Chain A
Amino acid sequence: MKSGIGRRHFLRQTGAALAAGPLIARAQTPPSERVRVAHIGTGNMGGAHIQAFAALPEVETVALCDVDSVRLAESAKRLVQRKPTAKPETYTDYRRILERKDIDVVTCATPDHWHALVAIHAFEAGKDVYGEKPLSYSLREGQRMEQTLRRTGAVFQLGTQIHAEDNYHRVAEIIRSGALGRIGTVRLWKNGGTRGLGFPPNQKPPDTLDWNLWLGPAPYADYTPVRCHGSFRSFFDYSGGVFADFWCHIADVLFMSLQPEGLSTVDARGEVPGDGIADTPKWIDADFAFKGLNVHWTTRPPPVPGAEKMSIGAHFEGEKGTLTCDYKSRKIRIGKEVLDDLPDVPVTLPRSPGHHRNFLDAVKSRGLPESNLPYARKMTLPMHLALTSFRLKRKIVWDSVKEEAIGDPAANYLLGRTNRAPFV
């Protein structure tokens, strides 16, 4: 039980003593038997994390945090129902959790605008993080997350569970094998977009909700329920709509398969809803020019065979054939043949033991988990650019080395945000 404290204490001492920094100190630390986990944000995905981690044998769930005391109490109750031995302490302010030296891992399922700050503060407090998608609210925050991760040597996994499943691994093997020839175009889509949510009046937040802390680094706004639980993604103050919700789920298979590089332009168009206070895309289509690869995102299925029946998907166009897939299925078309698999392509990619398991293994080995931060950041970056292009209604010319929009200060301005004090 004290091993966690001991390990963290040791790490801090050694980290302070060694000029080489905590990265080396950690790598040399033998893993403890138990992993002490705290969950920050206990809503939909947070609730799922609580259950998934509680199912792992070495996990001890020691703390829960939510700015909504009703959700917090409910999640504690559900945890104890599942694991009667659990005695989680509950917090409103995640900073109290990060102060605890006995906690190894935090999960983060806050609204998007908190993702980066929670992770950065956790890294600095010596915690490893399993964080929900999207990686960060802004592109610049993602850079800061990666810098802090490298400085502190923390382990981070993005909670894209589909990544761990067999289908994406198999698609990546087929694409990488060259069986479809060089891939020049990839089409990604997700049906549907943000709804307007009407024009509700502002009101006093419920006593059970710390609205100021919920807002955190986002601009101050008066409370109305649709801004908060369940539909916060409809607002650019906190997220980027359905597009930001689903981008990484399906862009993941593109990045696993092709590792696109050299993004040079992003051009998006679309509309905001007219029937409410929500301001994120009702629809958004975007074109991305990578080196040797064009990627197109649409809010409707593209005009390719089979796509109209798939609410989300990726379509790879190669010189010799195409592959169309979603989370669970894939169809390969070569000439007139339609196949589910190419048996000649060998299985080369190691399969995941499960996304949470893979993360815990990395926590112990100090290795890179499968959806690690540098990978997740590369995958998320085009999403930020598409949303910025959508908002500015113009093409963004991108310097992928400096990670800056060329000749467009307003675009660079929108890729970051000054956090509201004191949430920095």
Chain B
Amino acid sequence: MSALRFVCFCSCLAVSAACGAADGGFTSLLNGKDLSGWTMLPGKQPAFAVVDGLLETRVPGGSDLFTVARYGNYVLRFEYLLSKVGNSGVLIRCDPKNPWGTGVEVQLLAPWTPYRDDLHCTGSLYGHVAVTNRPDETTGVWHRMEIRCDRNVIEVSVDGRRTTVADTRAVKALDAKLLSGVIGFQSNHSKQGEFAQFRKIEIRDLDADQDYVLAGFSQTDERFRVQAREAAVALGPAMIVPLARVMEGDAAMARSVARQALFDIVAAASAPQAEAAARDAAARALREALGAKPSESTAGYVSWLSGMLRK
């Protein structure tokens, strides 16, 4: 099954690369001027700064840097440069209060002495999953890294070559980690004078893609179905028509997730503090779903839901 999945990923990647829209669905996480959208932990020395458009960390033992936003499934890509014995890392799907306990570190490390093995070198899921293709670890030059978190599969590439593939369910320690969380960069983990620099930090949020989210409704692992449902709810009224369509399908599992997601979207739109535009969009979408003449049970459910939006 895993092998099959990987074939799928490869073809997906190929397609997205070939499509090659200007941004390919990626948005930048760094404005090049300051750390808007990022946060460091209070009580620790700030270890990150934006210098000449580059993000860099020089202070050893200072605060790590975290996104304010949370992400579940995504493709993160960026370029990095390490000093001679630089040491940093990327924290994925973590809680900033306990990043290594709740999430995973993708290592960024100079090939310093003592030599670190494949389980602890650049590209490894530090201490959990080794690289199978050891990347170019030359320091002082820019490398590209891409980290793909796709439900239970985490994949790392360096300079366009895949180094690491992990099925989180196959590694006990990873199976207990969060499925979504913030993204972090580790502060200089080497001595004074060493540093790490980052640029072109971009993300493609897979949970913002309707089809990707709907595909999650049929995941055999309950946790990913719940994640997909939450992602659908976060997408709001725009998901109503697609969800009503899923309720017309044959798959009991997907129908059930869609039913709950529909309720939660309409409930959120019905909140006293919800924006009028969101409420109107939800009401309109429910009417559109009814217009498609669904089955008796779907039609009954959708028209019942629309009652929640009446003033």
Contacts and interface: CB of A to CB of B under 8 A. Distances in A.
Interface string A135-160: 00000000000000000000000000
A199 B260 contact: no
B86 to A, nearest CB: 42
Contact of A410 (B267, B296, B301): B267
A220 B297 CA distance: 6
B179 to A, nearest CB: 12
Nearest to B267: A392
A199 B258 CA distance: 13
Interface in B225-273: 225-226, 229, 252-253, 256, 259-260, 263-264, 267-268, 270-272
B222 A393 contact: no
A414 B297 CA distance: 18
Interface of B: 222-223, 225-226, 229, 252-253, 256, 259-260, 263-264, 267-268, 270-272, 296-297, 300-301, 304, 307-311
A196 B257 CA distance: 12
B252 A201 contact: yes
A220 B298 CA distance: 10
Contacts of A393: 264, 267-268
Contacts of B260: 272, 279
Interface of A: 196, 199-202, 219-222, 272, 274-277, 279, 391-394, 407-410, 413-414
A374 to B, nearest CB: 29
Contact of B256 (A199, A407, A410): A199
A391 B272 contact: no
11 contacts: A199-B252, A199-B256, A219-B300, A220-B297, A274-B222, A274-B226, A276-B256, A392-B270, A409-B308, A409-B311, A410-B271
B226 A410 contact: no
B252 A200 contact: yes
A413 B271 contact: no
Given A222-B297, A276-B256, A394 B310 contact: no
Contacts of B264: 393
Nearest to A277: B256
B271 A414 contact: no
A393 B272 CA distance: 12
Contacts of B307: 413
Given A413-B307, A413-B310, A391 B225 contact: no
A394 B271 CA distance: 8
Nearest to A392: B267
B249 to A, nearest CB: 12
A3 B256 CA distance: 54
B267 A391 contact: yes
Contacts of A407: 272
A75 B309 CA distance: 45
A279 B304 CA distance: 16
Task: Return the 9 tightest CB-CB contacts between A and B, nearest first.
Answer: A410-B270, A199-B252, A410-B308, A274-B222, A274-B226, A199-B253, A277-B256, A392-B267, A275-B222
B252 A277 contact: yes
A220 B308 contact: no
Given A279-B260, A391-B263, A392-B267, 20 more contacts: A196-B222, A200-B252, A202-B252, A219-B297, A219-B301, A221-B297, A222-B297, A274-B225, A276-B256, A277-B252, A277-B256, A391-B267, A392-B271, A393-B264, A394-B271, A407-B272, A409-B308, A409-B310, A413-B308, A413-B310
A302 to B, nearest CB: 25
B309 A410 contact: yes
B266 to A, nearest CB: 8
Contacts of A221: 297
A413 B304 CA distance: 10
